[in-house]
Amino acid sequence: MSTHQTAGGLVCVGIGMTLGSHISPLARSYIEQADVVFAGVSDGLVERWLQRMHADVRSLQPYYAHGKSRMHTYRQMVDAMLVEVRAGRRVCGVFYGHPGVFAWVPHKAIEMARSEGYHARMEPGISAEDCLYADLGIDPGTCGCQHFEASQLLVYRRRIDPSAWLILWQAGLAGDRSLKRFSTGPAYRHVLVDVLARDYPMDHEVIVYQAATLPIGAPRIERTTLRALPGAQLGMADTLAIPPAQAMELDAEICARLAALDAASEEVTA
């Protein structure tokens, strides 16, 4: 790990979604060579696994509390890591999945460390998105794939393309604007259904997905309909994957322009 000229540095690594299966050799090296390791991972089992790689692993989970703003929690996590960086230590922040995907803390910690002159970088990991593509057999290049955080989709006027896949992250938190809850209920999902019904029929399939976190486990893949969605059991780790509801529509005007360009190109090369 490279260090600041007066010592101290930060690297945030991703260890993937499935325990022990997704970690890269470089991420493991950063963990083993750090002076102190902070763990923002899925459960205590993963923390114990990390402790086999390093003697000083400090959990970030105790910063969470019911009724406490997650943003306040996140700032405390950043401060905890930066205190050690400023003390001249090589710090490794370990996060499940990819440390740059739906993870405010790694981005902010790296930004602050760099602004203070310390070396800081991010090492990517296998994300829930990567697992979703594999488990559901989705190729985003086939018809496109759009991603939104569920509450963001509700609060802002976003444009949905129903001819592409739609992926909604943190679906169990849909509608939460307090940043204090760990789930919302059926009434909030009714609002989500009303928004989605602008572009999808009520009998359209939706898939509740959660990546496997243990090698012996299986991903959660539950198929239901948009109409039945309010009654589904959803937590903050659950994702909604919505298949296309219609075929892609050709843009005749643009196709004509491209055909003209092709014809002109053929004339030049003839």
227 is catalytic: no
> Beta strands 165-169 and 205-210: pairing type?
unpaired
Residue count (the chain): 270
Do residues 198 and 184 touch, judged by C-beta distance below 8 A? Answer: no
Element (H, E) at 78: helix 70-86
70 is catalytic: yes
DSSP for 229-263, written as a single string = GGGS---TT-EEEE--SS-----HHHHHHHHHHHH
Pairwise CA distance, residues 270 & 266, whole Å: 6
Q: Which position among 63, 89, 90, 96 bears the catalytic label?
A: 96
Which structure tokens are listed for 118? 């310390």
Do residues 94 and 50 touch, judged by C-beta distance below 8 A? Answer: yes
96 is catalytic: yes
Q: Which position among 74, 118, 188, 209 bears the catalytic label?
A: 74
Q: Which position among 30, 63, 70, 188 bears the catalytic label?
A: 70
- Percentages of the chain per state (helix, strand, coil), in multiples of 5: 40, 20, 40
Give the single-character DSSP code of 91. Answer: E
Residues involved in catalysis = 70, 74, 96
